[in-house]
Structure 1
């Protein structure tokens, strides 16, 4: 593989790569213009030369220029210089030329990824991006599902949507096919693993009962007096989690906050104490959220230790969904992978970071606990990453990836005016 020069990826603090940027931008614009002209080339121009000579036409273009000039003046006068190494006031930095050019190029085609027929090219690209992100996080690319959102807020909202749907689905099965559950108590149903719930979903599909079971889940019944349990988050969580609990009707009283250590990481002793206390009180846990790269400190929670606590709880009959909010630090995981996307050994990874001059030889980074945390991310049930942060793409974008794509059956909706192929879709088109 040929080496990558980072200086060739960005426009540069002084627009040093402006020639390439303008050439590539002209290419993207020309490609779109030619695409329009070659679509039914025998059609006559809708906007004729005579139209373009009219006073009203010319004055409209003049007004457009004035508005753009005004916009440019305002942007230059008060925007923040993310591109400059002199500016370190936010977590933002410069953005990739390729991302900027692609963003502006795609914008001209105005795709709408909510429906495949409105975005036949970009819908496929989005699903590919989800698979690629899942692979970078250590998930099986053949089983993972992910997509792009408008930012980390919505991506984390969606993860909470995953948890809520999964936690309630066994009770839908209880209502329509109790024989699939045997003699399991409600407490046991509240503590099925995501994998066990996915198996239940498959079994109800085999019996043609999935849609009926789903109608007895929280998707249809809403939140009831029978709680789905506590959402456990660290004190260092992003504030979007408080909003998500509010918007989705879970209630802030059902969010338990775990103390952080002096290093601003989730306190594992306090987490274990809370988990065992809830277990003793027979209060279920809907999910646990860990943070990889806190907004204020860049701290990385010990993902591997949280998994040990989950294993301990599972041995005693309690389990929970595990989500990693890696909006800020998720892209760092790429630094731990070799050219074949395999997670490197600790010594190999540190040697590579030094050889590639990513980390100075005199700096002992990362500590092994950070290495183990990033390695263990592959065991999470879902992960959120923000491309507009360390992915260097334009605002605003987020991504959510789920370990098992079957989760989409619990959250998908299909508009009756959109044609989509699929057995599930055709039987529930207006849901």
Structure 2
């Protein structure tokens, strides 16, 4: 993939299109001479060096990686036009691309591609806000239940919407505890259960297939936050070590709403989330009047089914182009996710054989959690050792970039009862192997982290 060549083709294609409208000259007020641009751009690129190498397999920290070159080219090409996907008169081409890309997402989850409602958003946070907004309108006066390990956005968005939220305890694998959920639902105060397929801390997958009949019995909606793990549905029932148990993923088709972030495993740049509703009739809650838009077509404008107004058409263009080249199918993006999952499982195996590191829990997706073995085996010692490995890993001539996750006393005891609980919790090490290139670097990562753990 020659990104420089692709970008050159992008600029040429847009210029050829622009030329069809006749000659024009940019206004002199916009002119910036090259001798002024060059030093400022040099300063700009120098400042960008103050980043971690998210592209490199030695970066195994947060949920960060560069977008695919197809997404970069798609985004930048459309950005030269700068369409706005709020209304068809602001972005007719990219609005059509958005509908097509969202339909592919809906089909990936098992929704009827011809009878659903959905659109892209600027983030998973906004997508979840929209899903909870619809939940509030359908069950006024009733709140939301989510797992204690769910993303903090749910509690925060419930506060924004004026809805009560209830955190449900998790089991020893970080999944929502079903007995605890039933206890919450018996109160009659909850109208929506939020399930997470891939928590951002552990990558734990809530049992969607088991919660759905419980929710139906109590008359509550089910919203699935698949922002992180949604694309792993492509590995459901797959052969080989990367295959996932199909039950929770197949059940997504029966959820009332789903959120997914293509800017994670969909290989997109930031600014690309998505919300999907199984019942298109919920579009009635978005109805509003805009006196200067929605006049060029009788077709549905995306702004009529979105809380956001201006949205970058470039985000839709990038996703559309990526899906045409790497579709959301087992043989397309599924191969990318499979590599990351194999990497996580391989590293987990190495850690289980190690006398320097201990596995916190087996990875369900592509997130590995572990901690240095300490003497004494106590939470304060684990916390200090994890913090040291994190800091020292980022320095020196052979850096490795990790992240940490705080595990509370109860969660730690459920997994490692022999570790003395002499504190409220401890930081553990966490590695997200979402880049497929990580598969070829697992043993180097393990060797480097083991060396750091041994020198403590």
Same fold flag (TM > 0.5): yes
Q: Which residue of 2 aligns with 1:10?
A: none
Whether contact under 8 Å (2:175, 2:207) holds in the other structure is yes
**Which aligned pairs between 1:401-412 and structure 2 lie closer than 5 A?**
401-412=276-287
Structure 1: unaligned runs, 5 residues or longer: 1-16, 169-227, 337-345
Q: Map 1:337-356; keep pairs closer than 5 Å.
A: 346=237, 349-350=238-239, 354=240
2:6 corresponds to 1:24 = yes
Q: Give the aligned partner of residue 25 of structure 2.
A: 46
3-state SS of paired residue (1:88): coil
In the other structure, the counterpart of 2:144 is: 231
Q: Which protein is bigger by CA-based radius of gyration?
A: 1
Higher strand share: 2
Alpha-carbon distance in 2 for matches of 1:423, 1:142: 15
Q: 1:62-106 deviations in whole A, cap 9, x for unaligned?
A: 32333222211111x212211111110112223211111101111
SS of alignment partner, residue 139 of structure 2: helix
Instruction: Tell me, yes or no, if structure 1 residue 37 matches structure 2 residue 10.
Output: no
| Alignment map for 1:354-393 (pairs within 5 Å) | 354=240, 359=241, 365-366=243-244, 368=245, 371-393=246-268
Tell me what 2:192 maps to: 287
Runs (4+) of structure 1 exceeding 4 A deviation are 56-59, 421-425
**Displacement of 1:424:** 10
Superposed, 1:32-431 pairs within 5 Å as 32-40=14-22, 43=23, 45-46=24-25, 60-75=33-48, 77-168=49-140, 228-250=141-163, 254-276=164-186, 278=187, 283-311=188-216, 313=217, 318-336=218-236, 346=237, 349-350=238-239, 354=240, 359=241, 365-366=243-244, 368=245, 371-420=246-295, 421-422=297-298
Q: 1:412 to 1:129 in 2, by over 3 A?
A: farther
For 1:110 and 1:423, how far apart are their aligned partners in 2? 22
Number of matched pairs = 302
Structure (1/2) with the larger helix percentage: 1
Change over 3 Å in CA distance of 1:284–1:81 after alignment to 2? same
Tell me if the contact between 1:127 and 1:145 (Cα under 8 Å) persists in the aligned partners.
no
Q: Flag the 1:97–1:131 CA change in 2: closer, same or farther, 3 A.
A: same
Say whether the 8 Å CA contact 1:331–1:390 is kept in structure 2.
Answer: yes
Structure 1 equivalent of residue 327 of structure 2: none
SS at match of 1:419: coil
Q: Which runs of 5+ in 2 are unaligned?
A: 308-456
How far the C-alpha of 1:114 sits from its partner, in A, is 0.8
TM-score (ref. length: structure 1): 0.66
